[in-house]
A = this chain, B = another copy of it.
């Protein structure tokens, strides 16, 4: 049985602590094959009934990338209007995506119609297909951070518009749009990054016993 030692576990914990949602990227391009290597890692992740429902679209065309940036701007303006007063001012001060600077754009979808794995494990909980894709993104995120890269998951987008822009099959459900690149900098203490908006709570607050 493959085993891991205490030194690895310590570093793995550091990786969990320092995995961040990156929104400020340096303009440096990704090394050749970097995106494909991250996708390979994602494909090692758990999926319901080994359904492997993940569908990755590497977005390279500049017109399509600009259309995604435009959609983000429109959705983000709508979101800003849902807040008022101090909260709106704080929202406006947040940088919520690095779409314009990030060298790598990756759209990720879940194919709900795929029959791989013969639909095992999906009958009573069909959304496990989407959960499998979210888990795959999480693995890729950790791998990117271990490699000195940063990933930002953008959800302030209109899924129907992303479908149009990327011309993907109707049956694919849009899960997330990922910016990939090298981060400009990191805060010295991870908790400071979002101090203006929300803070991280203790695990105890989220745990009960039955």
Which of A's residues lie within 8 Å of B, judged by CB?
1-4, 8-9, 11-19, 21, 36, 39-46, 48-52, 54-61, 64, 75, 78-79, 82-83, 87, 91, 94, 96, 107, 116-125, 127-128, 130-135, 137-139, 141-143, 145-148, 153, 155-159, 166-168, 174-176, 183, 185-186, 194, 197-203, 206-210
Contacts and interface: CB of A to CB of B under 8 A. Distances in A.
Contacts of A203: 36, 39-40, 42-43, 56
Contact of A12 (B42, B82, B146): B146
Given A1-B186, A4-B15, A141 B46 contact: yes
Contacts of A120: 79, 91, 94, 96, 197-198
Nearest to A35: B207
Contacts of A60: 209-210
Identical copies in the complex:
2
B175 A43 contact: no
A12 B139 CA distance: 10
Nearest to A174: B125
Given A45-B138, A122-B155, A198-B49, A208 B56 contact: yes
Given A14-B2, A56-B208, A96 B121 contact: yes
A116 B117 CA distance: 36
Contact of A208 (B58, B148, B199): B58
Contacts of A183: 1
Contact of A143 (B16, B54, B127, B132): B16
